[in-house]
Amino acid sequence: MKGLVSKFSLMLFSLFLVSCGGGSNELPNSAPDDIESPYIISTIPNSEKDNVATTKYIYVTFNESIKTVTTDQISIHPFNNESVDTLNPVALNNDSFIFDTITNKLEIQIKVGDLIPKTKYQVLVENVYDLFGNALQSPCLWEFTTIDAPAITSGKTGVCGVLEKAPSKVNKVVAISGDKKVSLFWGKPFYGTADNYQIHVIQGTYDPVKLELTGDVLSFIDRNVQNNKVYTYMVRASNSIDKSAPTFSNSVTPTVGFISLVPSSKLLSNNPNRGDDFGFAIAISPDGLTLAVGEPNGDPNIAPDSGNVQLFVKSGSVWKRGLVLLADSPTTGNRFGSSIAFSPDGKTLAIGETFGDFNDAQDAGAVHIFNKAGTDWKKTPNRGQKLKSQIFTTLNRFGTTIAFSPDSKTIAIGEVLGDPTTAADAGTVQLFINIDGTWNSDALLTAKAPTSGNGFGRSLSFSPDGEALVVGETGLSPTSNTGLVHLFTKLNNTWSHRQVLQAKVPSTANGFGISVAFSPDSSTLAVGEFQGDLNKVTDSGSVQLFIKSKATWDNTPIKGAILSSQIPRSQNKFGKSVAFSPDGITLSVGEILGGNITNVAKSGTVQHFSKAGADWVQVPSRGPMLRPTTTTNASYFGNTLVFSPDGSILIVGELYGLQDTGQVSIFDTSQPITTVVANFQASNTRYHASKKQL
């Protein structure tokens, strides 16, 4: 009975567990850019024609959250004839300003009677700072009129409109490289009108050129570049008055190489059966030659549904079926293969069995250690220890997640229903260290405030530099809880809780922390929130990026780094899995119920993002989103993502592919494909892609 119940429940529970070219994307030292400054997106009233009632509020919408506003930063003055009456401002106090952190809209409350009918007013916003201390890019000055006043015919109107001055600098310049070309995109100026844009190649291998494009053109493709050379660009906006300050692009290196749309290989179970979950967990050896695929409901002859791990060994360009690994005592429903990890030195393979049994606690969970025999994994590995929880209790799910430290000397094991002393079923992460070939229990980590059912340990990752360990706590049960990510650091061989990271807009049951991944340089952390309601699309999902600042991490996502699907739809669950490419250029994201443009065949997608300067943008040059070759509703394509160590392949698990048996697709990252041109949206610095042959 246990096997039937656990198999059915865990098919549901599984939801909650766990290139093109463009070389360097860093900004040149000679080209500093201050695009991190906040700016104003819209105002209400927004033009001289928008005559407002004397009791109406004034609204200012920013591109990001700002610090508390005071009367020193915002003022409203009436006009007296044609001059601003600076001696009689509209009465405001610090309580007049109400900021909505979800919409980034500032409401300026004006008392009844403080606005005079048939009067023109001037609003000045200045010295406003975002949460990171960056100042407003420039003072914002505009005018409006109250009921029945004459229309404004000159001066400053609209969103910080400046009719008699040069435009501000353009909103971000993003360079994306391909095969012998660089695509350049930019947004309109923050304020002012641009009649044209001037483009300069300031770093390249051919003579600098100056191009001039009309003001309605916001992109350019440079086909004069050479592969494997570095290029940087500068864009200015100009009109009849003057030109703006320059905005610099990121540096790029054109090369050949894309993620193929068609998998080069598909791996299937040696005994495919519906509901066996082949591909639930995937790991690749450090030399890139052995692929381990978990099938936690697999059916070895000795115990149906006990689970197994199947090894595939690379021979040339072909993946050949290798060994099948089993638990020491296969038992129906024990889910051996729920988690897998190779040690970075390639000598050890750890496999989770989330309902593994010990004499003193049935179904508590276990982790099995296998040690490589000889020079590769073709020979049957030596069975090592069977690790158990420090506080093992039935149904604690020890082994839900596994991660090795970069030096291979420590294993972190997630136990999502572990029982710390302060809260039953809150979850723990347990550390084991290798001393002379034996794994010894070392430390037990818990959430800062353990809460029953919060799922601490749902995701795990050591930073590549070995200085940090992050643990996801999704907060999915009860649904009134929000997800968190906990960061631990090591000092004098002791791991201590250092910091709690949260979503930009924390919400209940959003699954923040379902997936985590560090960039190869350890400077950026990607966190999946697969049930997030980005832009009010229920459970569409998002991925939020955090950046390390000296010794600490910003505890809210960095500006411009909340990533969403190209086709955000309700229940698509974008962010279930995340993976950085080894070169740090690409971040791939699994969207397990993603569909096509009409949301038909929600079989899942994998989408790619590339770093441009300080921001991450959806990058067409890595290829359109990946989909399974056979679209079947709810096949969970993208449930797991793994790059090979050399970045030459991307491995994608499709949990219910091939008629619910599960399959794994391997995509080459060096096969040219049709590229995509992007339409840059200045309002949210995101790319929306449309296919086009270049």
> What end-to-end distance do the CA atoms of the chain give, in Å?
58
- Lowest mean per-residue pLDDT among 40-49, 513-522, 589-598, 652-661: 40-49
Burial category of 162 from C-beta neighbours within 10 Å (exposed 0-12, middle 13-18, buried 19 and up): buried
Would you tell me how many other CB atoms lie within 10 Å of the CB of residue 151? 11
φ, ψ at 8 (rounded to 5°)? -65, -45
How many helical (H) and strand (E) elements, i.e. helices and strands, does the chain have? 2, 46
**What is the predicted pLDDT for the residue at 269?**
95
CA proximity to 637, closest of 622, 623, 657: 657
pLDDT digits (tens, 9 = 90+) for 173-210: 877 776 677 878 887 786 667 888 888 887 665 544 55
If we measure between CA atoms, which residue out of 178, 199, 173, 190 comes closest to residue 614?
Answer: 173
The proportion of the chain whose per-residue pLDDT surpasses 70, expressed as a percent, equals: 79
Pick the range with the lowest mean pLDDT from 54-68, 102-116, 154-168, 588-602.
154-168
Least confident of 65-74, 118-127, 683-692: 683-692
Q: Report how far residue 525's alpha carbon sits from residue 429's, in angstroms, rounded to the nearest whole number.
A: 19
Q: Residue 628: which residues within 8 A CB-CB, separation 6 or more?
A: 603, 604, 635, 637, 654, 657, 665
* CATH architecture of residue range(s) 170-248: Sandwich (2.60)
- Determine which of 72-76, 334-338, 380-384 has the lowest per-residue pLDDT on average: 72-76
* Rounded average pLDDT over 613-632: 69
DSSP 3-state assignment of 627? coil
Please tell me the least confidently modeled range out of 115-129, 367-381, 519-533. 115-129
pLDDT band at residue 516 using 50, 70 and 90 as cut-offs: very high
| Band (361; pLDDT cuts 50, 70, 90) | confident
Question: How confident is the model over 293-323, as pLDDT tens digits?
Answer: 999 999 887 788 899 999 999 998 899 999 9
Task: Pick the most confident of 37-51, 217-231, 347-361.
Answer: 347-361
Whether residue 540 has pLDDT greater than 50: yes
- 8 Å CB contact between 584 and 566: no
Fold entry, domain 40-145: Immunoglobulin-like (2.60.40)
Instruction: State the Cα angle at 510 between 507 and 516, rounded to 5°.
Output: 115
Asked if residue 163 has pLDDT above 90, the reply is no
For residue 224, what are the contacts with CB-CB under 8 A and spacing of at least 6?
206, 209
> In the chain, pLDDT over 90 holds for what percent of residues?
34
**Res 482: pLDDT:** 81
Grouping H, G, I as helix, E, B as strand and the rest as coil, residue 310 is strand
d(CA 73, CA 69): 7
d(CA 418, CA 450): 10
Summarised one tens digit per residue, pLDDT across range 207-245 is 445 567 776 778 788 888 887 788 888 888 888 778 888
Evaluate the omega torsion of the peptide bond into residue 89 and state whether it is cis, within 30 degrees of 0: no
Record the pTM: 0.65
DSSP string, 113-161: TSSPTT-EEEEEE-S-BBTTSPBPSS-EEEEEEBTTPPPP-SS--TTT-
pLDDT of residue 604: 92
With helix as H, strand as E and coil as C, how does 597-624 read?
A: CCCCCCCCEEEEEEEECCEEEECHHHCC
Going by pLDDT thresholds of 50, 70 and 90, the confidence category of residue 532 is confident
Query: Which carries the bigger pLDDT value, residue 199 or residue 616?
Result: 199
What is the C-alpha separation between 608 and 489, in angstroms, rounded?
30
The pLDDT assigned to 155 comes to 39
Q: Which amino acid is at 553?
A: W
Spatial contact of 378 and 285, defined as CB atoms under 8 Å apart: no
* Distance between CA atoms of residues 435 and 605, nearest Å: 43
pLDDT tens digits, one per residue of 243-265: 888 888 888 877 755 577 788 89
pLDDT at 321: 96
Picking from 643, 604, 598, the residue whose alpha carbon sits closest to that of residue 627 is 604
Mean pLDDT, residues 580-585 taken together: 86
Q: Is the pLDDT of residue 691 over 90?
A: no
Q: Please determine, for residue 435, whether its predicted confidence score (pLDDT) is greater than 90.
A: yes
- What is the predicted pLDDT for the residue at 15? 34
With a cut of 70, say whether residue 26 has pLDDT above it.
no
pLDDT at 455 over 80: yes
Question: Can you name the CATH fold of 276-451?
Answer: Methylamine Dehydrogenase; Chain H (2.130.10)
- pLDDT score for 679: 26
Write down the pLDDT at residue 320: 95
pLDDT band at 48; cut points 50, 70, 90: very low
* Least confident interval from 37-41, 72-76, 288-292: 37-41
Q: What's the confidence (pLDDT) of residue 35?
A: 43
Q: What are the angstrom distances between the C-alpha of 533 and each of 66, 102, 165, 233, 579?
A: 22, 11, 40, 36, 22
Asked if residue 688 has pLDDT above 70, the reply is no
Residue 337 has pLDDT above 90, yes or no: yes
Q: For the chain, what is the mean pLDDT?
A: 79
Region 567-594: mean pLDDT is 90
- Distance between CA atoms of residues 149 and 61, nearest Å: 25
pLDDT digits (tens, 9 = 90+) for 88-147: 888 888 888 888 887 888 888 887 778 888 888 888 888 888 887 788 877 777 777 776
